[in-house]
């Protein structure tokens, strides 16, 4: 949520670079946007609404500075208005600031500043920052010292970028909110995420908490907030800028659903030896935990539920916790391995949970998509899912690759039964997903039930997290009421909501006792005249009781969950598309939730 871009050394291309960078960060979720450029003065243009509206406003403006910063805001303090948009300035107009995060002591600072004569024009917590800098400059401090002193008074989470009139420099500081530098030839960039400058360079430096960066056309430096030099590694981004385009698809989400076969191959490559029947994950090392605690949020929490069952089935106690609950009510840890599942590696609640575990001396492992992310750097170990960049706010290929990555993790750490059979199913998974993408009748199902009152999803075992994820996708992009349940729970309350206009999606695979129980639950639904959509591999007789069947190839129960999920992603997508919603940027949501 919220996006930051900054650049130095782009000369006449500064403004275009800022606006282009903001457009690549739209996927993070936002409700206003703005830019500031600095030379002998600081010029700011900002507006509520979308990037297109900012572009229209800029057509009549004259911004000439050769260094600049930009921002897309997702409202926290104050509604999305022009005044609340970033950048924010001080009373003199010589300082401009953009900020991601939440300043927890902003009200105290604001009261103090107002009492000393400062005038505020917004409702935001961010606006205290330029005024703090202004006070320091008035006392004779040079800009860098003024900004360091101002930042030192902030409590909470922040990624801050600042420009000052008369200085060709972008200053930045980070605490609990991501910032990354992009290193070009005679030009330097700053952003909250790599896509903002990936068209210009693949060389990056990730800032850590408590670090301060200075960007000039002649180079860059990183120090602690106190000014001590920090040696930083320069990493190379291994994906092409083309990967963040739509490639002819109507929406990023649809493109990313169709990219799943490739993403799954990338996740499996070099880790699975089918001949030997082994899985080796060099990044993780030799971990043999007595127990596993997963911490995650949203879609990643559903992957964590799935992963916990994988470990339990192999005889290792495992639980999945909502990261936000874990922090405030920490369960007994003993010698458990704490695994944070986070697509971005920057999810604030998940980072807090992992830090809580580390403070208690427990080993931590990040399962993430982003190399160099905060979770990857702070945990004892990192395991990358290799999904490639995902732009759509609603997760698709990152969920399926999380499922596969957790399979690999469980197989590498446990003595699972039928390991060769599971590995064979994992090998076949990309082609089986492709088959579903080629043959799915999800669009027809969506057209049949687009006007339903609500949607219910049921499953058991490995399919229960898939039911939860199917419901979440429907909520996120269609804005319709949807719920996922363990199928046996229907008769304990939710059945009261079932009507002839509430389709029930039942995930039924195999023909064991579990499948037979779900079929029994389907009969309960059918008896109340609710339409049933079965996601089935044809082994059970659920099709006899279903109005529609979305077929999946016969496979191992573990990988059947990935295949079933593909159908549900497509159903949600097509329903949302029929409504004409902004699928890639659903209302009120952000791709990376970096505040608690």
For residue 169, how far is the Cα from the chain centroid? 30
Handedness of CA 380, 383, 388, 394 (dihedral sign): negative
Assess whether 379 carries a catalytic annotation.
no
From 50, 397, 473, 591, the catalytic residue: 591
Sheet holding 337-342, edge to edge: 318-322, 292-296, 337-342, 364-368, 381-384
DSSP string, 165-213: TT---EEEEEESS--EEEE-SS-EEEESSGGGTTTT-SEEEE--TTEEE
CA distance 70 to 46: 9
Question: DSSP string spanning 252-321?
Answer: HHHHHHHTHHHHHHHHHTTTEETTTTEE--TTT-S---S-EEEEE-HHHHHHHHHHHHHHHHTT--EEEE
Q: Is 46 a catalytic residue?
A: no
Which of the 8 DSSP states describes residue 109?
H
Using CA atoms, how far residue 525 sits from 490, 501, 506, 564, 565, in Å, is 9, 12, 10, 20, 21
**Peptide bond connecting 87 to the previous residue in cis, omega within 30 degrees of 0:** yes
Residue with tokens 């030099």: 229
Q: Which of 2, 267, 297, 379 is catalytic?
A: 2
Question: Rounded CA gap, 335 and 371, in Å?
Answer: 27
Active site residues: 2, 591
């Amino acid at each position: 949520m919220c996006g930051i871009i900054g650049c130095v050394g782009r000369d006449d291309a500064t403004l275009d670079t800022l606006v282009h960078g903001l457009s690549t960060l739209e996927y993070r979720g936002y409700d206003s946007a703005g830019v500031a450029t600095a030379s002998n003065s600081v010029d700011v243009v900002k507006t509520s609404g979308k990037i297109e509206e900012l572009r229209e406003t800029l057509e009549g403006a004259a911004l000439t500075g050769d260094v600049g910063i930009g921002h897309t805001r997702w409202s926290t303090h104050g509604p999305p208005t022009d005044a609340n948009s970033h950048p924010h300035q001080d009373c003199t107009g010589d300082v401009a600031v953009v900020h991601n995060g939440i300043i927890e002591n902003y009200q105290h600072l604001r009261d103090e500043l107002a009492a000393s004569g400062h005038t505020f024009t917004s409702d935001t917590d961010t606006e205290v920052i330029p005024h703090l800098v202004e006070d320091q400059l008035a006392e004779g401090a040079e800009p860098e010292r003024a900004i360091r002193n101002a930042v030192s008074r902030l409590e909470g989470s922040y990624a801050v970028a600042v420009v000052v009139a008369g200085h060709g420099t972008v200053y930045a500081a980070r605490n609990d909110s991501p910032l990354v530098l992009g290193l070009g030839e005679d030009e330097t960039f700053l952003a909250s995420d790599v896509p903002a400058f990936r068209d210009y360079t693949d060389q990056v430096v990730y800032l850590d908490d408590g670090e301060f960066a200075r960007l000039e056309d002649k180079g860059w430096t990183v120090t602690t907030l106190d000014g001590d030099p920090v040696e930083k590694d320069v990493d190379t981004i291994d994906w092409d800028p083309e990967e963040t385009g739509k490639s002819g698809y109507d929406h990023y989400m649809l493109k990313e659903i169709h990219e799943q076969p490739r993403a799954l191959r990338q996740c499996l490559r070099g880790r699975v030896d089918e001949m030997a029947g082994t899985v080796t994950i060099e990044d993780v090392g030799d971990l043999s935990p007595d127990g596993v605690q997963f911490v995650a949020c949203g879609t990643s929490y559903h992957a964590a539920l799935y992963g916990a069952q994988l470990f339990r089935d192999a005889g290792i106690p495992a639980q999945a916790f909502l990261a936000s609950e874990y922090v405030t009510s920490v369960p007994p840890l003993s010698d458990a391995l704490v695994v944070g599942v986070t697509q971005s590696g920057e999810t604030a609640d998940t980072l807090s949970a992992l830090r809580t575990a580390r403070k208690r001396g427990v080993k931590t492992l990040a399962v993430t998509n982003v190399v160099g992310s905060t979770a990857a750097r702070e945990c004892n170990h990192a395991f990358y899912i290799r999904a490639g960049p995902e732009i759509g706010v609603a997760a698709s290929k990152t969920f399926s690759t999380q499922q596969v990555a957790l399979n690999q993790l469980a197989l590498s750490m446990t003595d699972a039964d039928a390991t060769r059979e599971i590995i064979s199913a994992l090998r076949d998974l990309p082609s089986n997903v492709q088959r579903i993408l080629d043959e799915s009748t999800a669009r027809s199902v969506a057209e049949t039930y687009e006007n339903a009152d609500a949607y219910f999803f049921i499953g058991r075992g490995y399919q229960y997290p898939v039911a939860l994820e199917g419901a979440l996708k429907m909520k996120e992009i269609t804005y319709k009421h949807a719920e996922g349940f363990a199928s046996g729970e229907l008769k304990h309350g939710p059945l009261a909501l079932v009507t002839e206009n509430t389709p029930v999606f039942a995930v039924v695979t195999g023909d064991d006792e579990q499948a037979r129980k779900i079929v029994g639950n389907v009969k309960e639904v059918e008896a109340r005249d609710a339409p049933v959509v079965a996601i089935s591999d044809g082994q059970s007789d659920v099709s006899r009781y279903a109005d529609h069947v979305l077929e999946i190839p016969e496979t191992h129960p573990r990988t059947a969950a990935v295949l079933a999920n593909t159908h549900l992603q497509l159903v949600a997508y097509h329903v949302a598309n029929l409504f004409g919603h902004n699928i890639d940027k659903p209302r009120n949501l952000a791709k990376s939730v970096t505040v608690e």
